[in-house]
Amino acid sequence: MKTQMRTEPMALMDLAKVDVPKTQPPNLLPEPIAPRDLVSVHDLAPAEILSLFNLTAMLKRRPADFRGVLAGKQMVMFFEKPSLRTRLTFEAGMDSLGGSTFFVDQTRGRLDARESLYDIAHNLERWIDVIVLRTFSHATVEGMATYADVPVINALSELEHPCQALADFFTLQEHFGDLSKIHFSYVGDGNNMAHSLLLAGAAMGSKVSIATPERYALNPVIVTMAQAIAEETGATLRLLNDPRKAVTGTDAVYTDAWASMGHEDEAEERAKVFAPYQVNAALFNLAKPHALFMHCLPAHRGSEVTDQIIDSPNSAVFDQAENRLHIQKAILVWLLGGGVGRFQARSARAHA
């Protein structure tokens, strides 16, 4: 969308104040906001993220109440990289909301190899209601968002993975409640996950400690963005090199692949540098006893995490994967204007 920006409070934010009603129908909620894009976690104001979590909780608790909310809407997905979770949760989510999906396997050639992004965008906007992209270059997602007159969702780029980070902080909220009281840690590569998690933690007012090898530090532009958000929310952000320091006393320990998609040929070299960042019992035991182990998956067992930790009762990895479905349904309902207020009111009447 050409008008995309991270803005002042919008109608959706009011949802944050509305909990799922138990006995009384709520007041009618505001109609959804004008369509926008979700290219970065930074596209959402902190209160909007909380609103989205509220909607996600409703969708998760009572999916049947939202059946058909996106009837007649069409989504296209172009993926330049492989996917299990992202593809299936978007497809299943859109289907359960009554919409349809077209998947374009773009793994054999970049999206804009045959035709300019500008031309593709102006075709798609004539046919389709929402565009979901998984790309190598972040500029491809940004370009599509700039040119296309329908919402564009980043389903992972080299720079960010906002849908995953939102699902992850929703999972943390389910476990711990108030996110401004948690200490979240991440150890490993300063990659797309680290960037989106830092932005999400900053927006939620959390304490965030991230340890990466010096050579694989986070992108300074993202760090500056996160620091600006933290000034508004009171979040504390610590960027370190020592994984033990990052993890000690935290409520959640997150890690990701040492060699992300597109960097597989560096795997051997990276394995040496990242070895001290492996989440094993010695490292994980420095966190609080109730700490969650988190990973976006796919996991490379025996590399960034041991079986003992990922299979432990503290592991939240499958909760995170499940919540991809619920958060993305909420994102689609929100971006496509699926009449949230109408459906919530109907849902409340049914349960009164």
Q: Beta strands 130-134 and 100-105: pairing type?
A: unpaired
Distance CA 39, CA 17 (A): 25
Q: Identify which of residues 42 and 161 has a Cβ nearer to ligand CP in the complex.
A: 161
Given ligand NVA, ligand CP, none, residue 287, with its beta carbon under 5 to 8 Å by kind, binds none
Q: Which residue's entry shows tokens 């700490």?
A: 291
Residue among 10, 286, 297, 345 that touches ligand CP (CB under 6 A) = 297
Q: Which residue's entry shows tokens 């992004």?
A: 117
Query: For this structure, is 163 an active site residue?
Result: no
Given ligand NVA, ligand CP, none, residue 92, with its beta carbon under 5 to 8 Å by kind, binds none
Query: For this structure, is 164 an active site residue?
Result: yes
Given ligand NVA, ligand CP, none, residue 84, with its beta carbon under 5 to 8 Å by kind, binds ligand CP
Cα maximum dimension of the chain: 60
Residue among 260, 303, 306, 344 that touches ligand NVA (CB under 6 A) = 260
Given ligand NVA, ligand CP, none, residue 195, with its beta carbon under 5 to 8 Å by kind, binds none
DSSP class of residue 137 equals: -
How many Cα atoms are found within 13 Å in the side-chain-facing hemisphere of 294? 32
Q: Does 222 bind ligand NVA (CB under 6 A)?
A: no
**Residue ranges in 70-99 that form contacts with ligand NVA under rule CB under 6 A:** none
Query: For this structure, is 324 an active site residue?
Result: yes
Stretch that binds ligand NVA, among 114-122, 126-134, 199-207, 255-263 (CB under 6 A): 255-263
Distance CA 145, CA 143 (A): 5
Residue among 101, 106, 140, 192 that touches ligand NVA (CB under 6 A) = 192
Question: Read out DSSP for 150-167?
Answer: S-EEES--SS--HHHHHH
How many Cα atoms are found within 13 Å in the side-chain-facing hemisphere of 268? 1
Q: Beta strands 252-255 and 292-295: pairing type?
A: parallel
Residue among 34, 84, 104, 352 that touches ligand CP (CB under 6 A) = 84
- Per the CB < 8 A criterion, the answer to whether 149 and 170 are in contact is no
Q: Which tokens in the block code for residue 29?
A: 């909620």
Stretch that binds ligand NVA, among 185-193, 245-253, 268-276, 334-342 (CB under 6 A): 185-193
Query: For this structure, is 161 an active site residue?
Result: yes
Residues with active-site annotation? 134, 161, 164, 256, 296, 324
- The contact set with ligand CP (CB under 6 A) reads 83-86, 156, 164, 296-298
